[in-house]
Amino acid sequence: MGKEERLQQQFAFCREIDKEKRIKRQTYQSDAKTRENDAEHAWHMAVMAILLEEYSEEKIDLLKTVTMLLIHDLVEIDAGDTYAYDPEAKKTQKEREKKAADRIFSLLPPDQGERFRAIWEEFEAWESPEACFAHTLDNVQPAMLNDTTKGISWKEHGVRLEQILERNRRTGEGSEILWKYAREHFIEPHVGKAIIPENCAKVSFGESDKHSKES
């Protein structure tokens, strides 16, 4: 492959991922009026990774983690945003996102396409220290914004406490310190205050199960 062809493929990819700015999430920005898009979400977490690296459970490759956070939702250009508390959409999420990954990463020169695809799959597998920390941030960031906006997204969708805790059952694997802080400062203050209903009698705010696996 010549340099001209390589550049053409790289710029084709750069143009394509601009579409990520159009993918709206359910989480609201701090103004409580505008829902954030996927690109804003990715940027926010990338900065958080740089700031909060010291709280990772294990030593991480920061550049790899930031890259992972910046590209992990590119598949939503085709697959759309799958809301964390939408069980029906969750049923087809993996299939939709795999198909999207096949197309989007194939736009790159083969070496870069393979590298990005491998990093995306590593994030999905949730097994490396970088993937675990990236998932921690991916879960803590929307909780932080829900706290900032007085739980507007949680209220809109009637999200219950047991749903939030189930969603975050592995969040502590990347950083127990960050998950504990999020529980105590972003979630617990809203329980039982017409923001997060507590409908499950056996709900616990204990440490996440570090040995549980994503179904």
Q: How far is residue 12's CA from residue 106's CA, in Å, rounded to a whole number?
A: 11
At CA 49, angle to CA 111 and CA 58, rounded to 5?
85
Tokens in use for 170? Answer: 């592995």
Model pLDDT for residues 147-171, shown as the tens digit of each residue: 999 999 999 999 999 999 999 999 9
Binned at pLDDT 50, 70 and 90, residue 199 comes out as low
Cα–Cα nearest to 73, from 141, 154, 143, 145: 141
DSSP class of residue 186 equals: I
**Average pLDDT in the 136-140 region?**
98
Q: Are 33 and 9 in contact (CB under 8 A)?
A: no
Other beta carbons within 10 angstroms of residue 16's beta carbon come to: 15
Model pLDDT for residues 80-90, shown as the tens digit of each residue: 998 888 888 88
Query: Taking the model in full, what pTM does it have?
Result: 0.89
